[in-house]
Amino acid sequence: MKTASRSVGSTALDRNRASAHRDVAVWLLVCCFMVAVMVLLGGLTRLTHSGLSMVEWEPIIGIIPPISDADWLPFFEKYKLTPEYIKVNAGMTLVEFKGIFWLEYIHRVWGRAIGLVFLLPFLWLAFSGRIGKGLIPRMIGLFLLGASQGGMGWFMVKSGLVDNPAVSHIRLTIHLGLAFLIHGWMFWMALDILADHRPRPARLEEQGRRAVGRWLVLLTVLVVTTLLFGGLVAGLKAGLIYNTWPLMEGRLIPSDLFSTGILDLFEDIKTVQFTHRGLAELTVLVAILGWFRGRRLLGGATLPAVNAVVGMAVLQVLLGIGTLIFVVPVWLASAHQMGAMALLTLCLWAIHDVKRRV
């Protein structure tokens, strides 16, 4: 009887632990979704030229929006002193200013909301023992990285408030890269937690599994590199010129690439766009060829996560081509940016899935 009692108690304890771990995983996935929405809002803010409408960073009191005309006027008067107003939007009315202000305001408030949705449940989950002690340092590191992202966002905005009415494309790319890093880190931790309480998927032959795993890691490196160059393209507004594909200036390889040296890779509009295009084409080629080779190595077996990666890679390059040819319409450019987020997420899911099939 005692043995049976212990068995029942052990089973109940295991269920409670599994439930607690699921709570942590769901919380992390909610935060992942919020970061994805943040990336969408950031892209819309940039594409609608709304990002320089708020000229101060007030993490606490900045959450209170202007309501009356008396509230709005100080914001508008400060904006009138910026290079963007003086050189681009001179004569803008208060009504027009409100149109660009609200999107940047929502973007900033959403960032603060992510911080709260992460911090408060983390404290409760940690003190209630639902988060394993080994995970707590990683969670703290993730929170600090998120806090630094807010500072990086303001550092980026400041670059457009001095002389040139545009933010630094380097700072914008770092800001974007940090968002993808935070999202990917949280998503991977959620996958780890869920995997601890799920049966292992069907085993794969070792040689094929290793080959597919290496291909997915290579593909993920290409995806990350391509999206970072996409940040440079966005910051330099390089998508507004050379709006043909596959030719650029009527040629596969345009003239005057790297005309002033290796730094053109990060500074020259033509070189940056050509590099982004080339990386995107290489990425989809590696995705398709690797998929066919993986099927052969695995005896014709296909994995849902791997299939999703290849499908998204093809869709993403089509979104990029469309964004270029139609000269960066807001909706299409936003879809392209979120396609990068979806593709990276699927790559991580596929790597994690293959890694477990031992």
What end-to-end distance do the CA atoms of the chain give, in Å? 38
Work out the pLDDT band at 3, boundaries 50, 70, 90.
low
Output the pLDDT for position 11.
56
pLDDT value at 273 more than 80: yes
pLDDT value at 192 more than 70: yes
Poorest-pLDDT segment among 15-29, 52-66, 183-197, 277-291: 15-29
Q: CA of 181: how far to CAs of 56, 316, 318, in Å?
A: 26, 19, 24
pLDDT value at 260 more than 60: yes
Average pLDDT for residues 226-254, to the nearest whole number? Answer: 95
Work out the pLDDT band at 174, boundaries 50, 70, 90.
very high
Q: Strand, coil or helix: what is 248?
A: strand
Work out the pLDDT band at 9, boundaries 50, 70, 90.
very low
pLDDT value at 8 more than 50: no
Output the pLDDT for position 234.
96
Output the pLDDT for position 300.
72
Over residues 27-69, the pLDDT tens digits come to: 999 999 999 999 999 999 999 999 999 998 887 767 888 999 8
Among 296, 284, 290, CA closest to 320: 284
Poorest-pLDDT segment among 107-111, 115-119, 184-188, 201-205: 201-205
pLDDT value at 291 more than 80: yes
Over residues 309-344, the pLDDT tens digits come to: 999 999 999 999 999 999 999 999 999 999 999 999
Whether the pTM exceeds 0.85: the reply is yes
> Cβ distance 149 to 310 under 8 Å?
no
**Three-class DSSP labels, 51-104:** CCCCCCCCCCHHHCCCCCHHHHHHHHHHHCCCHHHHHCCCCCCHHHHHHHHHHH
